[in-house]
Structure formats: structure tokens, C-alpha cells
Amino acid sequence: MNILGINAVFHESAAAVVVDGKVLAACEEERFTRVKHAKEARVDNPQELPEKAVRFCLDYAGLRPEDIDCVAYSFAPRLRRAGFRAEWWPERGFEELFLQSLDEVDAAVTRMMGRPFGRALRFVPHHLAHAASAYYPSGFKDAAILVVDGIGEVDCSMLAQGVGDEINIIESLSYPHSLGFLWEHASVYLGFSAYDAAKVMGLAAYGDPAVFRHDFTSILKLGEQGYSVDPEAVGFQAIEPHGLDALFGPRRAPEGDFLPHHMHVAAALQEATDAAMLSLLRRLEHLVGGSHLCLAGGVALNCVTNAMIARNTPFRDIFIPSAPHDAGTAIGAALIAHCAQAGASRPRGGATPYLGPEFTEREILAAVHAAGLTPRRCKDAAREAADMVADGNIVGWFQGRMEFGPRALGNRSLLADPRRPDTRAILNRRVKHREDFRPFAPSVLAEHAEEWFDLGPMSKSHEFMLFACPTRPGCAARIPAVIHEDGTARVQLVRRAANPRYHALISHFHKRAGVPLVLNTSFNDSEPIVCTPAHAIATFRGAGLDALFMGEICLTSET
């Protein structure tokens, strides 16, 4: 059974291919088009499909469009029609246009694949796809499942239980009770885009949540069902929402200074979110019990909240996929379609983030020559890159299959020395061209991680950079470039079995520098993470990197 999974309804457009229950490939459309998030979340574009990502997935799996038995789209229009009310939109006519655009998905799939699919085009409920993207790859035989994001069809949070091959929905919180939308509005209030929740999370470490703690109780209320959001207080239903301005004063201009006031708002939002998630999980534990938990939805990208959950709930083993946001629903929708087949076995794989394109040395050399550069072949790229990092250089590291999800995990990464106090400023200002407060993450050898960080309960998802972990006493001063203002670090564990070349690089750095970790940030500069050798070379030149390693091929600033 060959299944193509697609996410395209809102943003983070992506595709995945599942063959006989095994995830073979998955990729976000933005990596090919170089447009962040692939497209805007508009009411008139859910039929705009991730055609380049689809083409890659089919090619990688060795399939043609006629080989695909089922296309799974991660949104169910029938649920939207049944539960959403048009008056929830800030402007008349939006819902009608959205539904009309959803009705065009069938024709868009037919055009893309060259044939109609009829009933073989399966519309999978959005939150069910999120749940599947976490539960099936987790390997758990049973688990509590929590999905929290902006919105699916109608729901904003979903409590579910995985038992064997089945996912059972327990209950949901519907619009307007959306933590995801609250973060979007707060991001805009703080002068960012609606997509910049990660920036708000970083800014929160500099603030005092007590300053606006009481004000957030008027927005986000806790209760037996988990939480509720006051849509009028936030301004969800306004064309130009100013609800937060009334509570916290004038919003920050996009190019304005960051004042303590802004930091306090971010900190209070983070604290309120932690409390809301704990409230949901208390209910989920009461209803389901067990020690295993799967998290998905955009809110599951909040590393601070994830770490708090790991330390303050009865769940001892937590799995979060590398792409818990909407892109991951491409995998989830395909896995749901697989499980719907009579006699289907439990899906296999999908836990690895390395599901994207990879390139041969011939392709890499062709890109180097096309750029007019002279390549140098390394005897040991991992050792040479480690030495360059230890000497204070900023290195591009491009190898193997590209990561699926928003975080670079050692295959499309920029690497630097975590020991240097000035590394963060150099990267933020000279290379990444972003705000000074933005933190960087450490990639640490798994066998030494507990010596440097208080990881809390262990999770496979520590390999995906999804938990903010406190630093062990006496360690922070040795690695200042990867320690955030609150003393935590967004740790990525690197295991030899999962990524042997990256593990070798960090091991060489450990021998040279006495520190078992390197600074790792996504290989990009105000654009999506690089995908191809040509993208890597362009960023190498434009961002002024000191070196670029692609497989065993090296370029330096003198090339």
C-alpha cells in the first residue's frame, strides 16, 4: 500500500510517503521554494499543494503518481462544516471562501497526480493526524496523547488515548479556546510576525512573570476541562486585534527597542501557558492514566513547557516528534490512512528526523563548480570541521538526509565554539542577522549529556532539541554561548547510532577542547534551512561563513 500524505490547509505545507506502513520520506515545501512556511495561512489557498515536496517524496521512494494507492490530506472539511460558525471570523464571507477553497482540493490533487482519486483521496481530521504523527512513531504500545495548536477544523486542543493500533479521541476543546492563537496574537503585539512564537519564548527568559500574572488570568482561565480563553480580551474576532494593547499598553513596533515591559509580557504568557498545559495533562492523566505521553501540535515546540511537563506530571516517558507542528500532519495523515486498511499492521518508523533529500558527491561537486569555486577533498571531514570550530570559526555542516521539522539536528547545521562568550553575538549579528537575545542550542554527546545538563526524565525526543534543560552547577561558565538567560539550554542529544558523522565531529571537538558539545543552529540566514548544495553554497557566501563541509568536500573563505 503506497500512501501520499499532504499538509496544505493552513501553513507549513509538507508531504510524506508511507509504503506498507513505513515512513520513507517527508519534507516541507519551504525547503524547495525558499519561502518560509511555504505560504501564508489564508482562507483562499488550502488547495495550493506542496508539489515540489510531493515530487521529492515520490522520487525518493521510487514511485510514480500512478503507483500511489491513496492520498491523505490532513484536514476534514465535513468536520469544519459541522462545527464552525461563520460569525467567528472577523470578516463576513471568510468561511464561505475557505470552504470553497477546500472543495478545490480534489481537483488540485487530480491535476498534480495526473488522475482522479475519488474515494482514495482521504480527508483526515487535523488533530487526529497530529496525534498519529506522535503516537505511531513513538513505539509505545499505549499512551496518553495531547494535541495543542491554533486550530484544526474546530478544535484547538485534543485529549486522546493510543491503545495498540488505535487512537481514541477522549475529548476536545473547541475554538475560541486556542493557546496557539494566543501565542500568535502575543507575537504580533511584541512586534514579531504571527509565526514567531519561538522568539517570544526566547524573550520570556528575560522577564518577570509576576508583573502581568494577574492580567493573564483575565485572558487564560484554568478549570476542570483544562483551560479557557477569553476571545474578546485577546481580540480574536477583530480584523485588527488590539485586545492585548488594552491590557498591556501600546504594542512594540517591529523595529522598536525591547523594553522590560515586553519581556514581562512574554514571561507571563510563558507561565500561563505552562499552567494551562499542566491543567490539561492533569485531566488527561485522570481520564487515561499510564506512564507514556505523546505530544503534538505547534505548542509542543515550546521547549520550556515540555521540560516543565517532564518534571511535573506523572508521565515518565514522553515522545514528541521532530515535526510536531502542522508539517508533521503529512506523516500523521498517511499513517491514519494506512491503519484504516483492513488487516493493516502497526506503522513502522518515522521517529527519525532524517527523512529529507540527500545528495551524492557528484551532485555536490557539480554545484561547487557551477558556483565558480574550487573544492578541496578532506581526509576526515569530521575531524577537520571540529578543529576549525575549536579555532573559533563558524562552520557550515551539510551531510546526509535533511531534517524534517523546524530544527537543524546536525545534517543542515551551522556550528561554532560554545566556549567563546562572543560567539552568540557574532552569529546573531554577522551571520543570522537577527535579534541579540536569541539563544543557540548545544548538540551534546549523549554519553556525556548528564554530566553537563539536568535532563530530567529521559526521552527519545531529547534528540530533537525539544526540552530546555538546566545546566549542572559549574558548567555554564564553560559554555556561555549556548546558555540562555535563565540558565537553561535547548539540548540536542547526539547518539552515535542515530548520526555517526555528527557524533564523530563532536567527539573530535571533545578531545580537542575538553567540552563534549558544539553550538548548533540552523543552516540559514533569514530564510528556510538550506536543502541543496547550491543553497548551502549561497548561504556560505552570503553569511560570511569561514568554512563549508559537504560530505568530504570542503570550501573555505579563501576558496
What letter represents residue 420's amino acid? R
In the chain, what's the furthest Cα-to-Cα distance?
A: 65
In this prediction, what percent of the chain has a pLDDT beyond 90? Answer: 90
Measured distance CA(507)–CA(219) in Å, rounded: 48
pLDDT band at residue 475, thresholds of 50, 70 and 90? very high
Digit-coded pLDDT (tens) for 42-94: 999 999 999 999 999 999 999 999 999 999 999 999 999 999 988 888 788 89
Mean pLDDT across the stretch 407-427? 96
What letter represents residue 455's amino acid? L
Digit-coded pLDDT (tens) for 298-351: 999 999 999 999 999 999 999 999 999 999 999 999 999 999 987 888 887 779
Mean pLDDT across the stretch 517-523? 98
Placement of cell 554519553 in the chain: 447
**251: CB partners within 8 A, 6+ apart:** 188, 189, 190, 191, 242, 244, 245
CA distances from 100 to 74, 97, 333 (A): 17, 5, 22
What letter represents residue 115's amino acid? R
**How much is the mean pLDDT over the chain?**
95
**Residue 444: phi, psi to the nearest 5?**
-120, 140
pLDDT of residue 344: 86
Mean pLDDT across the stretch 203-231? 93
pLDDT at 293 over 70: yes
Mean pLDDT across the stretch 147-164? 97
Cβ-based neighbour number of residue 103 at 10 Å: 12
pLDDT of residue 35: 95
pLDDT at 221 over 70: yes
pLDDT of residue 305: 98
Measured distance CA(226)–CA(178) in Å, rounded: 12
The x, y and z cell numbers of residue 554, run together, are 570542503
Digit-coded pLDDT (tens) for 540-555: 999 999 999 999 999 9
Nearest to 234 by CA among 223, 245, 250, 226: 245
pLDDT at 211 over 70: yes
Put simply, whether the predicted model's pTM sits higher than 0.85 gets the answer: yes
Digit-coded pLDDT (tens) for 91-140: 888 999 999 999 999 999 999 999 999 999 999 999 999 999 999 999 99
Find the catalytic residue in 11, 264, 503, 510.
11
CA distances from 479 to 159, 416, 484, 502, 519 (A): 39, 11, 11, 19, 9
Mean pLDDT across the stretch 425-432? 91
Digit-coded pLDDT (tens) for 476-490: 999 999 999 999 999
CA distances from 237 to 176, 198, 243, 547 (A): 9, 24, 10, 49
Measured distance CA(41)–CA(45) in Å, rounded: 8
The x, y and z cell numbers of residue 448, run together, are 556525556
pLDDT at 523 over 90: yes
Element spanning 555, H or E = strand 553-556
The x, y and z cell numbers of residue 102, run together, are 477546500
Catalytic, 37? Answer no
pLDDT of residue 543: 93
Task: Measure the CA angle with vertex 218, ends 214 and 219; round to 5°.
Answer: 115
Report the length, in residues, of the chain: 559
Mean pLDDT across the stretch 430-439? 91
The x, y and z cell numbers of residue 420, run together, are 567563546
pLDDT at 559 over 80: no
In this prediction, what percent of the chain has a pLDDT beyond 70? Answer: 99
Cβ-based neighbour number of residue 209 at 10 Å: 19
pLDDT of residue 520: 98
pLDDT band at residue 225, thresholds of 50, 70 and 90? confident
pLDDT band at residue 224, thresholds of 50, 70 and 90? confident
